[in-house]
Every structure is written in C-alpha cells, then in structure tokens.
Structure 1
Amino acid sequence: MAGGHYRLYPTSRHLQGEPPVTDTAANNWLETLPKTRLMGEFSLWSADLANLEQEIKRVDPHVDIYHADVADGRFAPSFLFFPDQLARIRKLTAKPIHVHLMVEGDIVLSQIRQFAEAGADLISVHPENGPVVQEAIALIRELGLKAGIVLRLETPVETIRPLVANLDFVTLLGTAIGVKGQGLSPAACPRLVEAAAILKDQGRTDIVLAADGGIRENTVPLLREAGAQTVVLGSLAFNDKDLAGRMAWLHGL
C-alpha cells in the first residue's frame, strides 16, 4: 500500500470519554520535527509499564518522538514490545512512534508488517540482519512509513553508506544492545562524528541522526556536540520529577 499507512484497527478511541486522536502522526511529521534543537525521543521501555496510559498522558506534552524497542530474545537478550501493545499506545497519542526492531532476520519482514499495522510511523532495522535489510527497508517504505537503520556498537559505521539513499533515520547504539543501565562507550561520540560525515558526503543531511544507550546528564552534551539530533531518553526523562525543567535543559544544548 504505497503512499499511505498500513492499518487494520479502528482509528478512534473511547477512553474515559476523551476525544479521539488519529491512528498515526501527521503525514508530514518528519518534516516538522524541531531540528534546530536537540530532540527528545522517549523510550517506552523506561515508562511504568503497569500504568502506561497514565505515563503517556504525563509525558506526552514533552515528547518529540516515542521510541518502542521490539526484541525477540534472540537478536537481543530481552522480550519487548508486542504489536497489540503498540496498537493500544497508538490510540493514546498523535506523536510519531519509532519502532526499533531488535529481531532476527528470518522474522524481520513479518514484524515490519505487524508493527506497521499496529501504528508505527518509523521502523528501524539492523544491518546485522544481512541480505534481508534492503528488502526490509523497501517494505517499510512501500507501507508508507519512514525507514531507519540502527547500528550495534561493534558494527562499522561505514555500513550505512550504501543504505542512506533510502533512509530517514540513522541511530547509533552507544552501549551493548538490549541491556539497560550501561555506561556510554568511549567509541560512541567518535562514531556519531563519523556517521554525520558520511551523511554529509552523501548529500543526506536531512536524515535524522540519533543516539541510543548510555543517555545520562553528563553524556547528553557530549552526544549533542558529536552530532546527535535526538537522544533516546529512558530514566533521565521518566524518572525526573521536574520533566519540564529537564526538557528545557535538553532543548538548550
């Protein structure tokens, strides 16, 4: 279904008498992102998952993008999120949702279809999945979504060069994949600098460059200086009692 989102579920909600929101972000959400400042991509993995509806209501005014990690327990040592969960989240917000697929290559195409149907606006896959990656990116775009790539810490940044023509997002992990609470690798910032240079060399400075992992108060300024346009916020956002103040600080970097 080129040119539009692939959707099967109802587009309206009836939650506690609230007005419905659309089942997708605005069609031009990528173009209207506030790229003149550092953006906050809120990782749903760090929300209170037992009270997710309330969490989304609480943080939604401060969110530029939601980040939903999906892991199969094989490619990454976790089990996260599921399509039906994402469909529920989609009905709670009109903000763009970025689905990060940390799954083995043999299921990546079916996962793309399921999460497109559930309401993703952007789906990122891993080049470590091998030959299926080009097909995966083509499928994401065919379904009317934005396409991204995420690089594991050990994957050479040069891997993105042959892919950038068909990408909208590039995300670099700054820690080992799928494990919370790790410190930022010393290699993370130089890798962002390298990625930014590749995007510039390919004439794709419109691609959003994101940093994920090891996001702390002391590391965010370093990542921003290295070229990150958005950072994937976990506890730094969800656990802050003054979220408005935290985001004002982040936007000012």
Structure 2
Amino acid sequence: MTTRPIRIAPSILSADFARLGAEIEAIDKAGADYIHVDVMDGHFVPNITFGMPVMAAVRSYTAKPFDTHLMIAPADPYIAAFAKAGADSITVHAEAGQHLHRSLQAIKAEGKRAGVAINPATPLSAIEHVLDDIDLLLVMTINPGFGGQTFIPATLDKVRQAHALIGARPIDLEVDGGVTVDNIGEIARAGANVFVAGSSIFAGNDPATYASRIAALRAAATH
C-alpha cells in the first residue's frame, strides 16, 4: 500500500458533453480531487474526444487540478497549448514518440507536473530511465481509446512492479481503466494512489449520485 494520499480523478470522458461545465462543477462539489481530461486524436487511439478549446472553455468551472492525459501522437507540438488552456499536469504516452525525455522536458518547461503513461502491453523498462524526470506514472489497466472497459487482471501485477520501481521517489502512481468500488481496494494495496474513474462515477449522468460514488471509491481504496 502506498503512503501517498489517495486521489480520486473522475474522467470527464464519461460526462454528459451537452452540459460539460455543469458536470465538472458537480464532480468538484461531490469531492473529486482531480479532473481527469482524456484527450484522444483518432490516430494514436481509435477515438476522438476534445482538445484545447474545450479545456479552456470549462477551466473556469473548477479550481481543482486538470489531470490531462494526452493519448495523441505526436504530443510535443501541443504541450504548450494544453498548458495555456489550463492543464495542471500533462501525461504523455511512452509509446507516442521516440523522444520521451524531450517531451517531459517540454512539460516541465511549461511549469506543469509531468507524467508518463504506459499501455497494458508496454513493459516498465520503457520508462525506468525517466523516473527521475516525472511526477506521475500512469499505468493503463485497459487498452486506451474508450470508456466503460473492464479492468485487465494481468495489469495488477504491473502496478505492484511499478510501485517497487518508484521506491521512495515522490511520484504518484495512477491507474486508468475499469476502476470500480469492487477492485479499487486491491489496486490500492498494489501501490496505486491516484484512481481515474469514468463510468463508475458518471453512469446515468445524475449529479445527485456523484458524491456517494466518489465517497464509496475513496472508502474502498483506504480499507
């Protein structure tokens, strides 16, 4: 189990896009720690979501950090624009470019927290040489591209290995994909401390349910 604070990061990929600002306001009030923003380009992943103008448009609806996950390739040309649009942390994929260290330097140059994500089939060896350059390691527990997928059981051991690799470094270990109230405890015990949850929070898009769902996830992660 990690000693770093547990953070719940609702993914607005599962929000009602017709009232996105109101949805962000609702999850803020419901107890979200971060707002997870899944940016997809239809190239690196088989889906298209939203870009900088949408992020800039909804930035004023919350003071919570925008945890920005760039599932785009190439990512480097857009880092400054996402920083300007309101990102607080920017995570790029190890698989999305040939110069991961350069991408992380670009994020740091914007004064933002730098994260790196790895897909289920990508070995942790892909990121061990940049561990001292990151603030966040995101282990994908589904194949990226769509919400509502089921957690891949084999990734749990990868979370354990990632936690061991991080050691005493001040790095958040984040998981994204298929996180539910039934498995979040086991994932937390494996060492993760930041949990992206989409449909587990937004299912039905009823703001009256968000606080109880976030609280249930947090409680299950800490027991």
Question: TM-score scaled by structure 2?
Answer: 0.91
Give matches, 1:1-253, under 5 Å: 37-61=5-29, 62-105=31-74, 108-200=75-167, 203-204=168-169, 206-239=170-203, 241-252=208-219, 253=222
Give the partner amino acid of 1:207: I
Shift of 1:251: 2.3
Shift of 1:36: 5.2
Q: Tell me if structure 2 keeps the 8 A contact 1:38–1:250.
A: no
Shift of 1:250: 2.3
Inter-CA distance 246–209: structure 2 relative to 1 (3 Å threshold):
same
Shift of 1:243: 2.6
Q: Tell me if structure 2 keeps the 8 A contact 1:127–1:159.
A: yes
Q: Please, which moves more after superposition, 169-178 or 214-223?
A: 214-223
Contiguous gaps of at least 5 residues in structure 1: 1-34
Give the partner amino acid of 2:210: L
SS of the residue 1:90 aligns to: helix
Write out per-residue CA displacement over residues 156-214 of structure 1, whole angstroms, 9 at most, x where no aligned residue.
Answer: 022221011110011101111112222111211100000000000xx41x100011001
Give the partner amino acid of 1:121: D
Q: How many equivalent pairs are there?
A: 214
Identity score, percent? 34
Large movers: runs of 4+ above 2 Å: 35-38, 129-132, 239-253
Q: Tell me if structure 2 keeps the 8 A contact 1:97–1:122.
A: yes
The structure whose RCO (Cα within 8 Å, separation 6+) is larger is: 2
Question: TM-score scaled by structure 1?
Answer: 0.80
SS of the residue 1:137 aligns to: helix
Structure with the greater alpha carbon radius of gyration: 1
